[in-house]
């Protein structure tokens, strides 16, 4: 046996050992804490399963409603290699209903207290007397595909130095405290620590804010938000306004109008804020750096973006590739901004978007927990914002980054009915990759003047395959690249109103 093989075998044996020792503990609404916690004889309380769990164990929670009135407390930690896991079983959806709790700051649903390396996935947490979940002081936890709603304070709060946690594909909505002035969807605020990351999350109709980064007892904090949507905060379910603040993303702040000049450094990438009662992206006297890349603000009542107070020295406000539509932009004189929809030469209108139907945003998530497909605020083919942005280090499609939260993907990823808005379809070439020949097809719904052109990676035209007037129908052209070098190329179909671009690869 080679040394490499024997090392591989050793690893395999260790993996087997760890999977033999790690156990699965089952919890079900019809279980009993006198049971051993197997799939056929499950426990009924998650708390009992947590007490029973050893490092590396997974607690599987079966679907159905659990009526709990005491906080599920988690106070032990896993490690980077051996997390504690609490997972919904398969595709079942457990609902942890805490609505019999009275309102009070000790009545959280789940509380991680200096607990790290937990992975909690697939739970609904509703009705708690305070936060649905609080991560108090823990690090490196992953909270995934959970929903927090109708809790009597913020849905998910991070506090007491909680740092480097990842909140992935979670929803937080209809949370409301008795004053309506405190309950946010996601609250990395007050005593929160650094390095927390939100991805693919949605917050809506919370009585106070969607996200809140207000500080008290913490400073120089960093938070990253990516692909997150925040909307209709400051509104109740029935559409009436709450007494709360109603911001989409409140990026900081501190007591006495932040007279201590506390800094919450917030990066928001591809985030969407719309129809909030107050501001979409709100400084709230934050004195830290704020970096807003490829975000979209739409119809927020006070402003889509309001960041007007000078920052602490050395801090920067960067706003690039972002959209505001039917809302105000108030950015003071100090931002480093580029390629935003409110800057020349752009002139935004409803015609830039496939849909302005905001109701799409609350569609059900996909089975894996990712955000639903929507066309709301997506760019139409041929919009002035397609390929009009500057490279900010985010992945993009086509020749260049687009402007706004949603990169134009081409018709293949959009519902068939959306084609009604477009006269042209550009198909993926075949074969791809190719050498040296490939076929490119397009379809026209009516007679149009078109041009089909190939570009290199730097956007230089390398060949015009055809141009001129074509009747409705489908057309195919052969592109021969015998003379070209291997690499990524693009082909683009252009009409007076539209242009579609696809990528292809030549492998010589
Ligand atoms: Ca509270
Ligand atoms: Ca408030
Ligand atoms: Ca708030
Ligand atoms: Ca693009």
Ligand 1 centroid from CA 71, angstroms: 13
Q: Are 174 and 149 in contact (CB under 8 A)?
A: yes
Rounded CA-CA distance 377/259 in Å is 37
Neighbours of ion ligand 4 (CB under 5 A): 387, 396-398, 402
Rounded CA-CA distance 417/494 in Å is 21
Average pLDDT of span 52-67: 97
Rounded CA-CA distance 460/377 in Å is 30
Helix H, strand E, coil C: the string for 379-429 is: ECCCCCCCCCCCCCCCCCCCCCCCCCCCCCCCHHHCCHHHHHHCCEEECCC
Identify the three-state secondary structure at position 13. helix
Range 416-434 burial, b when 16+ CB lie within 10 A, else e: eebeebbbbbbbebeeeeb
Which ligand neighbours the alpha carbon of 214 most closely? 3
Helix (H) or strand (E) holding 7: helix 3-21
Percentage of residues in the chain having pLDDT higher than 90? 79
Which ligand neighbours the alpha carbon of 406 most closely? 4
Neighbours of ion ligand 3 (CB under 5 A): 184, 208-209, 212
Residues 408-451 pLDDT 10s:
986 544 333 333 345 777 888 888 889 999 999 887 777 889 99
Ligand 2 centroid from CA 214, angstroms: 9
**What confidence score (pLDDT) does residue 270 get?**
97
Of residues 216 and 10, more confidently modeled? 216
**What confidence score (pLDDT) does residue 460 get?**
85
Ligand 1 centroid from CA 105, angstroms: 5
**What confidence score (pLDDT) does residue 476 get?**
85
Catalytic residue among 121, 250, 269, 320: 250
Residue bearing tokens 């509703």: 126
Ligand 4 centroid from CA 405, angstroms: 11
**What confidence score (pLDDT) does residue 433 get?**
87
Question: With 60 as the cut, is the pLDDT of residue 290 above it?
Answer: yes
- CB half-sphere exposure, 338, CA atoms < 13 A: 11
Give, in degrees to the nearest 5, the angle at Cα 308 between 306 and 313.
130
Question: Do the domains 154-332 and 418-506 sit in the same CATH topology, yes or no?
Answer: no
Helix (H) or strand (E) holding 324: strand 323-325
Average pLDDT of span 178-199: 98
**What confidence score (pLDDT) does residue 444 get?**
77
Which ligand neighbours the alpha carbon of 134 most closely? 1
**What confidence score (pLDDT) does residue 410 get?**
65
Of residues 260 and 410, more confidently modeled? 260
Of residues 6 and 128, more confidently modeled? 128
Which ligand neighbours the alpha carbon of 136 most closely? 1
Average pLDDT of span 483-496: 87
Q: Rounded to the nearest 5°, which phi and psi values hold at 418?
A: -70, -15
- What one-character DSSP code corresponds to residue 312? P
Of residues 399 and 293, more confidently modeled? 293
**What confidence score (pLDDT) does residue 368 get?**
93
Query: Lowest mean pLDDT: which of 19-33, 156-170, 253-267, 373-387?
Result: 19-33
Q: Are 215 and 253 in contact (CB under 8 A)?
A: yes
User: What does 453-504 look like in DSSP terms, one character per residue?
Assistant: EEEETTS-EEEEEEEEEE-SEEEEEEEE-TTSPSEEEEEEEE-SS-EEEEEE
Q: Which CATH architecture has domain 154-332?
A: 3 Solenoid (2.160)
Is 502 catalytic? The answer is no
Of 305, 224, 223, 205, which is closest to residue 270 (Cα–Cα)? 224
Which ligand neighbours the alpha carbon of 152 most closely? 1
**What confidence score (pLDDT) does residue 9 get?**
53
Neighbours of 18 (CB within 10 A): 12
Ligand 4 centroid from CA 321, angstroms: 11
Average pLDDT of span 168-196: 98
Query: Lowest mean pLDDT: which of 77-81, 290-294, 314-318, 503-507?
Result: 503-507
Rounded CA-CA distance 410/419 in Å is 10
Ligand 4 centroid from CA 345, angstroms: 18
User: What does 139-189 look like in DSSP terms, one character per residue?
Assistant: BS-EEES-EEES-SS-SEEEETT-BS-EEES-EEES---TTSSS--SEEE-
Which ligand neighbours the alpha carbon of 388 most closely? 4
Q: Rounded to the nearest 5°, which phi and psi values hold at 438?
A: -150, 160
Of 291, 327, 335, which is closest to residue 309 (Cα–Cα)? 335
Rounded CA-CA distance 39/26 in Å is 5
Ligand 4 centroid from CA 406, angstroms: 9
**What confidence score (pLDDT) does residue 426 get?**
83
Question: With 70 as the cut, is the pLDDT of residue 206 above it?
Answer: yes
Residues 4-42 pLDDT 10s:
555 555 555 554 444 447 899 999 999 999 999 999 999
Neighbours of ion ligand 1 (CB under 5 A): 105, 130, 153
Ligand 1 centroid from CA 349, angstroms: 42
Ligand 4 centroid from CA 37, angstroms: 51
- Local confidence band at 383 (pLDDT 50, 70, 90 cut-offs): very high
Of residues 60 and 472, more confidently modeled? 60
**What confidence score (pLDDT) does residue 212 get?**
98
- Residue partners of 194: CB distance under 8 A and separation at least 6: 163, 164, 220, 221, 222, 223
Percentage of residues in the chain having pLDDT higher than 70? 94
So where are the chain's domains?
154-332, 418-506
Question: With 50 as the cut, is the pLDDT of residue 166 above it?
Answer: yes
Of residues 425 and 363, more confidently modeled? 363
Q: Are 242 and 180 in contact (CB under 8 A)?
A: yes
- Local confidence band at 1 (pLDDT 50, 70, 90 cut-offs): very low
Query: Counting beta carbons within 10 angstroms of the beta carbon of residue 239, is it exposed (0 to 12), middle (13 to 18) or buried (19 or more)?
Result: exposed
Q: Rounded to the nearest 5°, which phi and psi values hold at 10?
A: -60, -45
Which ligand neighbours the alpha carbon of 177 most closely? 1
Average pLDDT of span 159-179: 98
- Homologous superfamily of the 418-506 domain (CATH): Macroglobulin (MG2) domain (2.60.40.1930)
The number of helices, as runs of H, and strands, as runs of E, in the chain is: 3, 39
Of 445, 401, 397, 396, which is closest to residue 425 (Cα–Cα)? 445
**What confidence score (pLDDT) does residue 501 get?**
86
Ligand 2 centroid from CA 282, angstroms: 13
Ligand 4 centroid from CA 253, angstroms: 35
Query: Counting beta carbons within 10 angstroms of the beta carbon of residue 235, is it exposed (0 to 12), middle (13 to 18) or buried (19 or more)?
Result: buried
Rounded CA-CA distance 464/479 in Å is 10
Question: With 70 as the cut, is the pLDDT of residue 491 above it?
Answer: yes
The CA radius of gyration of the chain, in Å to the nearest whole number, is 26
Beta strands in 17-83 (DSSP E): 24-27, 58-61, 64-67, 72-74
Ligand 3 centroid from CA 217, angstroms: 16
How far, in whole angstroms, is CA 23 from its chain's centroid? 32
């Amino acid at each position: 046996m080679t040394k490499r093989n024997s090392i591989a075998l050793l690893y395999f044996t260790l993996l087997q050992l760890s999977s033999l020792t790690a156990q699965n503990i089952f919890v079900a609404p019809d279980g009993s804490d006198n049971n051993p916690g197997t799939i056929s004889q499950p426990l009924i309380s998650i708390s009992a399963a947590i007490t029973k769990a050893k490092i590396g164990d997974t607690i599987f929670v079966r679907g159905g409603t659990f009526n709990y009135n005491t906080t599920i407390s988690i106070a032990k930690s896993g490690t980077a290699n051996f997390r504690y896991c609490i997972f919904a079983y398969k595709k079942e959806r457990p609902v942890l209903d805490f609505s019999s709790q009275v309102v009070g700051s000790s009545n959280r649903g789940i509380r991680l207290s200096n607990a790290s390396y937990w992975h909690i996935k697939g739970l609904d947490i509703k009705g708690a007397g305070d936060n649905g979940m609080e991560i108090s002081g823990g690090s490196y936890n992953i909270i995934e595909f959970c929903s927090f709603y109708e809790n009597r304070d913020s849905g998910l709060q991070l506090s007491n130095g909680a740092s480097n946690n990842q909140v992935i594909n979670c929803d937080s909505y209809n949370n409301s405290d008795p004053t309506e002035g405190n309950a946010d969807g996601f609250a990395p605020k007050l005593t929160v620590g650094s390095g927390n990351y939100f991805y693919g999350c949605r917050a809506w109709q919370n009585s106070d804010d969607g996200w809140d980064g207000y500080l008290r007892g913490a400073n120089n904090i960093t938070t990253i938000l990516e692909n997150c949507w925040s909307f209709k905060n400051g509104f109740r379910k029935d559409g009436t306004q709450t007494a709360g603040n109603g911001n989409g993303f409140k990026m900081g702040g501190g007591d006495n109008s932040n007279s201590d000049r506390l800094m919450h450094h917030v990066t928001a990438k591809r985030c969407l804020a719309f129809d909030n009662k107050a501001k979409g992206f709100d400084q709230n006297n934050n004195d830290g750096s704020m970096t807003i890349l490829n975000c979209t603000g739409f119809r927020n009542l006070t402003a889509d973006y309001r960041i007007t107070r000078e920052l602490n020295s050395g801090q920067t406000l960067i706003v690039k590739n972002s959209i505001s539509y039917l809302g105000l932009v108030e950015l003071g004189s100090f931002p480093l901004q580029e390629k935003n929809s409110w800057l020349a030469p752009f002139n935004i209108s409803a015609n830039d978007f496939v849909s302005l139907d905001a109701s799409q945003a609350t569609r059900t998530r996909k089975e894996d927990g990712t955000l639903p497909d929507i066309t709301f605020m997506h760019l139409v083919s041929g919009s002035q914002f397609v390929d009009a942005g500057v490279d900010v280090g985010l992945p993009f499609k086509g020749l260049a980054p687009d402007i706004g939260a949603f990169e134009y993907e081409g018709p293949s990823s959009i519902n068939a009915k959306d084609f009604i808005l477009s006269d042209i379809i550009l198909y993926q070439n075949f074969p791809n990759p190719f050498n040296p020949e490939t076929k490119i097809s397009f379809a026209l719904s009516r007679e149009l003047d078109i041009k089909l052109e190939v570009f290199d990676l730097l956007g230089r035209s390398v060949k015009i395959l055809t141009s001129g007037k074509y009747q409705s129908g489908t057309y195919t052209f052969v592109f021969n690249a015998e003379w070209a070098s291997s690499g990524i190329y693009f082909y683009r179909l252009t009409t007076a109103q539209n242009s579609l671009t696809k990528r292809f690869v030549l492998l010589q």
